[in-house]
Amino acid sequence: MNAIILSAIFGIVMMLSSAFVKNTKAYKSIALVGLILLLLANICETYSHAWLNIPTFDMLEFSRFGLYFNTLAIACTILFSAFSQREIERVGRYIGEYFALIFFVLCGIFILSSYNNLLMLFIGIEIMSIPLYILTGARKENLKSNEASLKYFLMGSFSTGILLMGIALVYGGTGDFALVHHGQDISTSIAGAMNKRMSFLDVAGMILILTGMCFKVSAAPFHFWAPDIYDGSPSVFTSFMATIVKAGAFIAFIRLFAIREEETTILENAIIGVDWKMLFSIIIVATLLFGNITAIFQQSVKRMLAYSSIAQAGFMLFSLLSLNDTAKEGLLLYVVAYSVATIGLFGILAKMKDYTLAGYNGMAKSHPTLAFANAIFLLSLSGIPLTIGFFAKYYMLMAVIQTGGYMWVAIVGVIFAVISVFYYFRVIWSMYFKEGTVELKYPVTKGFKILAVVMALIIILLGAFPQVILNFLYF
């Protein structure tokens, strides 16, 4: 509750400071202070010091997993705002508003990590998405940015409509919006008794919700929006959308299906004739196939990263196939690994003049520090040992193998991980083994370089000791 309310308040504070504070340099400092306070408040709540105890009537439920995810999301946002503060200032005139919208997106993500009611799922998705439509079109004079914003808005609202239809059908099938009932005897309440019975309406609703959520996490076959929108929107906001927001959507996704699996048995699903695990394995294989194969043919690094984010979403979907404890731990690791690496890559990309692969030629000679950091980020994304990306992929595959019977999905995953190495290494190849001069659009400060190296070190250190992240989940 701390995080939800404070993030909304800080959003309003940023909004007002953009109206009253004249100094444009001050916004990022206000935002950073707000984010750090948010982080502290959330950590306080994790260790049972909730400052605000507002009765939510079972609409929200704050679990350790959700709160810890909030902490990771805020930490990644701090990293993001610190690393690309200059780029946010360069997007347009409304700097304070950009930070306000980022706070509102975070508010939506916090709701998504703790909802216990399908209505809250819908509200969370909306609070998360609507500011993003604006951020996508933040570069007003740029036609591509406008196009991306309109496309995102139309398709996003359409998918939200499908999600809402799914929620309505689930309500029709079970007579209940709640995921879990607390504090009342389920067997006596009519809604609880019905919850146990699977009906076709219920299953049809869940499939529609699955469709809507697959759109939000850009899983195939609902991924078509992702490349255009990631390519068109300003690079800073692409990195925010592709990392923290996508992770938030994944948390909502896994929360819904994990709780649902506890509520219904495999037998009940079999009676209806829906094999969710098979459905998820088809989605995973399709996502990995589309993401990886199309990424190979991209010449623009920004577009390649957009397709690679689809491919990475395929890997994160492994957690939805297995839905066990390893999968939850793996998802947290994956969020950190993927977010840190992608924020770093996009942060450096935003400084460059030429987004194509040729633009990276000879970076190791002219900017050795940035090239080193870039190389570490790419190694982590491709899952090379001694980086956190390796352990993230390892946990995901282990979770699938623990499920049993889905070995073939794990094997397909490994094959596509190997394919992904090809296009990540192509960037490293052009940085280190090709001649050329890298032209930067904006000067690189010393602080930026230090932060890039720090992020690379985080990736290596966590790759050596991945338990550091997971320990906080339990202690």
Partner 1 sequence: MLSSHIMAAAPVAAQHASSYLPIALQIVFAIGFVALMIFVSALLGPKRKTNDKLANFTSGITTHGNARQPMAIKYFLIAILFVLFDVEVIFFYPYAVNFKSLSWTGFYEILLFVGLFLIGFVYIIKKRALKWED
- Residues binding partner 1 (CB under 8 A): 12, 15-16, 19-20, 172-175, 190, 194, 197, 199-201
* Sequence-distant (≥ 6) Cβ neighbours of residue 475 within 8 angstroms: none
Q: Which residues pair with 60 in a beta bridge?
A: 115
Q: How far is the CB of 194 from partner 1 (least distance, A)?
A: 6
Q: How far is the CB of 235 from partner 1 (least distance, A)?
A: 26
Q: How far is the CB of 360 from partner 1 (least distance, A)?
A: 40
Q: How far is the CB of 22 from partner 1 (least distance, A)?
A: 11
Report DSSP state, residue 67: H
Q: How far is the CB of 172 from partner 1 (least distance, A)?
A: 8
User: 177 vs 425, which CB is nearer to partner 1?
Assistant: 177
Nearest to 29, CA basis, from 9, 13, 7, 5: 13
Nearest to 346, CA basis, from 323, 316, 373: 373
* Sequence-distant (≥ 6) Cβ neighbours of residue 363 within 8 angstroms: 370, 371, 374, 430, 431, 432, 438
User: 197 vs 441, which CB is nearer to partner 1?
Assistant: 197
Q: Is the dihedral of CA 393, 396, 399, 404 positive or negative?
A: negative
Q: What is the CA radius of gyration of the chain?
A: 22
User: 92 vs 436, which CB is nearer to partner 1?
Assistant: 92
User: 172 vs 221, which CB is nearer to partner 1?
Assistant: 172
CA distance 289 to 409: 12
Question: DSSP states of 327-357 as a string?
Answer: HHHHHHHHHHHHHHHHHHHHHHHHTBS--BG
Longest Cα–Cα distance of the chain, Å, equals 74
The encoded tokens of residue 473 equal: 């989940």
User: 49 vs 197, which CB is nearer to partner 1?
Assistant: 197
User: 16 vs 270, which CB is nearer to partner 1?
Assistant: 16
CA distance 169 to 174: 9
H or E, element range at 22: none
The encoded tokens of residue 251 equal: 């948390």
Q: How far is the CB of 193 from partner 1 (least distance, A)?
A: 8
User: 199 vs 300, which CB is nearer to partner 1?
Assistant: 199
Q: How far is the CB of 100 from partner 1 (least distance, A)?
A: 10
Q: How far is the CB of 169 from partner 1 (least distance, A)?
A: 10
Alpha helices in 217-300 (DSSP H): 225-232, 235-240, 246-263, 266-272, 276-296
The encoded tokens of residue 402 equal: 């623990």
Q: Report CA 246 to chain centroid distance, whole Å.
A: 2
Q: How far is the CB of 336 from partner 1 (least distance, A)?
A: 34
Alpha helices in 137-245 (DSSP H): 143-174, 190-195, 200-216, 225-232, 235-240
**How far separated are the first and last CA of the chain, in Å rounded?**
20
Strands of 51-173, DSSP E: none
User: 16 vs 266, which CB is nearer to partner 1?
Assistant: 16
Q: How far is the CB of 12 from partner 1 (least distance, A)?
A: 6
User: 54 vs 407, which CB is nearer to partner 1?
Assistant: 54
User: 204 vs 378, which CB is nearer to partner 1?
Assistant: 204
